[in-house]
Chain A
């Protein structure tokens, strides 16, 4: 048993898990506020990465301009999406909104392919490139720094939720819109905000993921792993996104290393099936009880 190898793989797994956690956070943000399962989260990630590519590689903007521009641009897209296709479906069964996000994913993939073609591209490097060594274990620098960025953002979001009354407003609108209205919360504004923040987080995630593995119009498949992460963690749990992300990152890294690359997604989906059978609401999700 090669413990050093195991340690190295686990380290990589946990670090990439941090990235999953960030993307999962974007997902949870929208679900917590609007009860919408946004399966196009992977595609929003992709848009963020492509916007960064456009601003930095195509328009040659400096990094300190390109990154915020990409993030804000995606945020704007999030607001647009919420206004045009999510809000009209308020009150419809959740499956309808889910299908809208499926359609959205298609539209975004098509747009990316149309504007930038389906070819794979590389993002400009902006992270330090010395290899990171933990003892004898090697950790790819991009993965490490990506995880650091993810942790910073996750911590920021957790703090904001804890101390800012907007976080409470978010939770209030999720549980009871009418009641939230009646205590003076501007519900539509909260919805928009949730989607904007979610899109921006997805963009950050996308930029990091794209920096590691390149960008392509099929990047959205990352979203499927994120879906598993949030199911494992609980659709409305920020902590769950973190724990779930780390866990799935680990599972995928181990499966990839010991079984082979094509087993990664399979392992993830087997975890999904297992969790759905044993604890469908995830490790930290809230169980909604139906009344007869």
Chain B
């Protein structure tokens, strides 16, 4: 259930009772939480908890089987994904989804696609409208994004040639190019070393500071989660089992059990039984 808001500033994003089922498998069951504007919200949970499915549902890749999603108060549950991008939902992906046939610069420019106006006739001619729009885009990206993320030295490099850490940064750059109001980062520091993680954390904070972008992230790195987030939502088996301030969530016994397990086989059996009972067909 979505938590009722005070009414002062409406939440930027509201996930309200979202259920997502694939045949007999329930990926999400009645997931609900709010994301306040200007906040950094983290979604955590063990592997397979449904975090990426949640992101995919909010992005518009999956259509939920129940519940709704509201963005700036508007119901976007039926809105197609490309339009959600234009409305301000920016996204980076868990397994880097850069376009390997393009350079870093082109990948970033692609993020702005939904906001550009060039049509096919302008494009074929190029001189005139298209050229102006491209120059403007280039200037904006260079000054606001490439400088900001410190990737100017690789702007013309083909993305396939970059290290993992740099690719992740380019992903972020592309997401920023989308001019998002909410930036959804799926495991932004996965596989990074300490230094890269700190850099990324700094970028995320700066993005919120300088751009006024709200951040929703899936993350496993508890240090990141505790240090950065204002609000934490914990998923397990497709359900929200806890949410609140980082410290509260960290102390929650349910959360600890989900992550660490209680070591008690009987408890495990009970949990599996409960999970099975909530699914229409028996999935062991």
Judged by CB atoms under 8 Å, the answer to whether A and B touch is: yes
Task: Spell out A's residues near B (CB within 8 Å).
Answer: 292
User: 1/0 contact trace for B71-99 toward A, CB 8 Å?
Assistant: 00000000000000000000001000100
CB-based nearest A residue for B61: A292
Q: What are 5 A-to-B residue pairs whose CB atoms are below 8 Å?
A: A292-B52, A292-B56, A292-B61, A292-B93, A292-B97
- C-alpha spacing A256/B93, complex, angstroms: 53
- C-alpha spacing A292/B97, complex, angstroms: 9
CB-based nearest A residue for B91: A292
Chain B at the A interface: SS class = loop
Chain B hits for A292, CB < 8 A: 52, 56, 61, 93, 97
User: 1/0 contact trace for B44-86 toward A, CB 8 Å?
Assistant: 0000000010001000010000000000000000000000000
Number of interface residues of B (CB under 8 A): 5
Chain A hits for B61, CB < 8 A: 292
Task: Tell me the B170-213 residues at the A interface (CB within 8 Å).
Answer: none
Tell me, rounded to whole Å, the shortest Cβ–Cβ distance linking A288 to chain B. 14
How many residue pairs between the two chains, A and B, have CB atoms under 8 Å in the bound complex?
5
Tell me, rounded to whole Å, the shortest Cβ–Cβ distance linking B90 to chain A. 15
- C-alpha spacing A292/B61, complex, angstroms: 8
Tell me, rounded to whole Å, the shortest Cβ–Cβ distance linking B187 to chain A. 13
- C-alpha spacing A292/B184, complex, angstroms: 14
CB-based nearest B residue for A289: B22
- C-alpha spacing A292/B93, complex, angstroms: 8
- C-alpha spacing A292/B52, complex, angstroms: 9
- C-alpha spacing A110/B73, complex, angstroms: 67
Chain A hits for B52, CB < 8 A: 292
Tell me, rounded to whole Å, the shortest Cβ–Cβ distance linking B184 to chain A. 12
Tell me, rounded to whole Å, the shortest Cβ–Cβ distance linking A176 to chain B. 18
Chain A hits for B97, CB < 8 A: 292
CB-based nearest A residue for B59: A292
Tell me, rounded to whole Å, the shortest Cβ–Cβ distance linking B25 to chain A. 12
User: 1/0 contact trace for B37-49 toward A, CB 8 Å?
Assistant: 0000000000000
- C-alpha spacing A292/B62, complex, angstroms: 10
Chain A hits for B56, CB < 8 A: 292
- C-alpha spacing A292/B91, complex, angstroms: 12
Q: Please name the 5 residue pairs, one residue from A and one from B, whose CB atoms are nearest each other, closest first.
A: A292-B61, A292-B56, A292-B93, A292-B52, A292-B97
- C-alpha spacing A292/B56, complex, angstroms: 8
CB-based nearest A residue for B53: A292
User: 1/0 contact trace for B128-154 toward A, CB 8 Å?
Assistant: 000000000000000000000000000
CB-based nearest A residue for B186: A292
Tell me, rounded to whole Å, the shortest Cβ–Cβ distance linking A18 to chain B. 35
Chain A hits for B93, CB < 8 A: 292
Tell me, rounded to whole Å, the shortest Cβ–Cβ distance linking A245 to chain B. 30
- C-alpha spacing A81/B56, complex, angstroms: 43
Tell me, rounded to whole Å, the shortest Cβ–Cβ distance linking A202 to chain B. 36
Tell me, rounded to whole Å, the shortest Cβ–Cβ distance linking B24 to chain A. 15
- C-alpha spacing A292/B55, complex, angstroms: 10
Tell me, rounded to whole Å, the shortest Cβ–Cβ distance linking B160 to chain A. 14
Tell me, rounded to whole Å, the shortest Cβ–Cβ distance linking B23 to chain A. 11
- C-alpha spacing A238/B237, complex, angstroms: 37
CB-based nearest A residue for B62: A292
Tell me, rounded to whole Å, the shortest Cβ–Cβ distance linking A150 to chain B. 37
Tell me, rounded to whole Å, the shortest Cβ–Cβ distance linking A46 to chain B. 38
Task: Tell me the B95-139 residues at the A interface (CB within 8 Å).
Answer: 97
CB-based nearest A residue for B97: A292
- C-alpha spacing A292/B51, complex, angstroms: 13
Tell me, rounded to whole Å, the shortest Cβ–Cβ distance linking A112 to chain B. 38
- C-alpha spacing A67/B61, complex, angstroms: 55
CB-based nearest A residue for B94: A292
CB-based nearest A residue for B93: A292
Tell me, rounded to whole Å, the shortest Cβ–Cβ distance linking B20 to chain A. 13
Tell me, rounded to whole Å, the shortest Cβ–Cβ distance linking B19 to chain A. 19
Tell me, rounded to whole Å, the shortest Cβ–Cβ distance linking B51 to chain A. 13
CB-based nearest A residue for B52: A292
CB-based nearest A residue for B22: A289
- C-alpha spacing A292/B60, complex, angstroms: 11
- C-alpha spacing A93/B93, complex, angstroms: 22
- C-alpha spacing A292/B94, complex, angstroms: 9
Tell me, rounded to whole Å, the shortest Cβ–Cβ distance linking A66 to chain B. 51
Tell me, rounded to whole Å, the shortest Cβ–Cβ distance linking A91 to chain B. 14
